[in-house]
Homo-oligomer: A and B are copies of this chain.
Amino acid sequence: MEEKKSPVVYLAVVGASKASPEIYDLAVAVGRQAARRGWIVVTGGLGGVMEAAPRGARETGGLTLGILPGGDRGEANPFIQVAVATHIRHARNSIIAHTADALIAVDGEYGTLSEIALGLKLGKPVIGLKTVWNIPGVVQAESPEEAIEKAAALLKRET
């Protein structure tokens, strides 16, 4: 009677709410490739990297989840299909880290760093793409392709 759960992967793409065109395009590419693998793309639901990754995922027909800091679903960017209005502000970073199977950080600022830290704390694979900090435990990638492949490889190793 019960549906069989497909072992779908939730990938969090974390980064700043404002992004240069270069960073924005990288995050779009990450989202596009994640969706091609059938992964759900999770972000904080606002602008910049949080918008670019679901934009890429939607182009490829992927499912996107936004975990918003505020209390109004309307603050989600238009590429978020399922929006969660937390109203717990920065504390929602912890929800993103818990919900994700793996995290890819694209560039990023301090909020991103807190998500990287919580992802590592929870033992999730964390990939850094153009991140400025050198945090032991973060796996560096040079391109969206490499980031996705490294995430996939680390997720496979876990199971």
Contact = CB atoms under 8 A, between A and B. Distances in A.
Interface size class of A (residues with CB under 8 A): 35 or more
B87 A95 contact: yes
A9 to B, nearest CB: 11
Contact of A88 (B2, B91, B111, B134): B91
Interface string A96-133: 01110000000001110110111011100000000011
A74 B27 CA distance: 28
B71 A98 contact: yes
Contact of A134 (B67, B79, B116, B134): B134
Interface in A53-106: 58, 63, 65, 67, 71-73, 78-79, 82-95, 97-99
